Structures are given as structure tokens and as C-alpha cells.
Amino acid sequence: MKLVFTTHNRHKLDEVRQILSGKIELVSLDEINCFDDIPETASTLEGNALLKARYVKEKYGYDCFADDTGLEVEALDNAPGVYSARYAGDAQDAEANMNRLLDNMQGKENRNARFRTVIALILDNNEYLFEGIINGTIITGKRGTAGFGYDPVFIPDRYTKTFAELGDDIKNSISHRSQAVEKLAAFLQDKKID
Ligand code: IMP
């Protein structure tokens, strides 16, 4: 079966394709000639994922899914959360975002944080939500070069290295996004849509 994944991000598309490992044929926004910058104006991850999926379903008519992810830090009342991409401003600069996070975490004893991904699926005009969470801690400096976003400052529980040190294979086997995608894949399989 074919499903549209509402992303322009090649890195994400490849990551999710790898997790679904050919079970479902994923089509990107570019492949349906959608080059729109879909608004993400909701105040929750669930809201943004639904906004994106509904946009594609309404404008292009395809069954589709959309994801939204945030880094939720306990000592910061779950910030940056839904605002993770623009924590340090509209430039969406990962270095600046991490610097702001590290500044705001100075002197905090509680370093607990989690990445949370929400996927919204629209299938046959029904909407479904799937969630993936990975718990960990925020360290005091940046370590590693793999991955993207906040990977250099996040160590997942039961590991001693950051996501950026662990690399894509290990990250993809445990990550928030992979857990949410696995739930999506299991759901689609149950529906015998694969
Ligand atoms: P998005 O919803 O996947 O676009 O994620 C929003 C923001 O959260 C990104 O711009 C990153 O700053 C951060 N983020 C999402 N996923 C990850 C990840 O796997 N590692 C590190 N940062 C991430």
C-alpha cells in the first residue's frame, strides 16, 4: 500500500523508510508535488501532527501520516516541547537551540528529559494517534557529530553516550520516532493493509 508521509525532510524520510523496511511504500510530499510550507501553529505535538495530516488529506486527497517531535525537559516545565525547532529563534539553528538549552539548564540538578514523537494517521477518513517516548538526561556540553537537532546533548537511559555519539543505527533502534513508527507499522499490519 502507498501512504504519504507529510515531510520535506529527506533525512526523516530515509529514517522512517528504514524502520518500515519496505513493509509500506512511503511517498514524500515532493513526490505528490506538494512544496507547501505546511503551518504548524498548534500548541501541542498532537495538534501539529493532526494539522499537517489534515492539510494533505484535504488538499491532495491522499491517506497520509504526519509526525511532530519535541524535547521535553522536566526542570524547564517540559520546554522546549512543541517549540523545539525554534527554541532560539526562527532560524531553526540547532547549535543556537542547544546553547539556549544548556544556558537554561545551568545549575539545575534535575537533568531528566525525554523526546516525544506523535504521529497522526488519516486512513479512510479516520484519524489515529501514535506516541513514542525515549527518556534520558541532558548533559552539560555537546558530544558527538551524528544525528541532528539536540542529539549532542541527550543521553538516553541505560547508555553513557549521547545520541550523536551512538550513531544512526543504535539511535534508530531505540528512538522516540522509531517507537512511534513501529506502533504505526503494527497498526497497519493488523489492518492487513501492508
Ligand atoms: P520535528 O517535529 O521532527 O520537525 O522536530 C522538531 C524539532 O525537535 C527539531 O527541529 C529538532 O530540534 C528536535 N528533534 C526532533 N527529533 C529529534 C531527534 O531525533 N534528535 C534531536 N532533536 C530532535
pTM score: 0.94
The more confident residue out of 77 and 25 is 77
List, for residues 80-123, the tens digit of each pLDDT value.
999 999 999 988 899 999 999 999 999 999 999 999 999 999 99
pLDDT of residue 69: 96
Whole-angstrom CA distances from 75 to 63, 69, 70 are 39, 19, 15
Which of these, 120, 122, 143, 124, lies nearest to 132 by C-alpha position? 120
Residue 124 among the catalytic residues: no
Q: Phi, psi (5° rounding) for residue 38?
A: -70, 130
Listed residue (149, 128, 130, 129) closest to 138, CA to CA = 149
What residues flank ligand 1, with Cβ below 6 Å? 68-71, 84-85, 97, 115, 147-151, 163, 175, 177
pLDDT (tens digit, 9 = 90+) per residue, 117-150? Answer: 999 999 999 999 999 999 999 999 999 999 999 9
Q: Write phi, then psi, for 7 (nearest 5 degrees).
A: -140, 150
Q: Determine the distance separating the centroid of ligand 1 and the alpha carbon of 181, expressed in angstroms.
A: 15
Q: Which of 7-21, 31-45, 53-67, 174-188 has the lowest mean pLDDT?
A: 7-21
For residue 193, pLDDT over 60 is answered with no
The total of other beta-carbon atoms located within 10 Å of residue 93's CB is 15
Q: What is the pLDDT of residues 42-52, one digit of tens each?
A: 999 999 999 99
Alpha-carbon torsion, ordered 148, 152, 153, 157, to 10 deg: 90
Atom of ligand 1 minimally distant from the CA of 97: 12
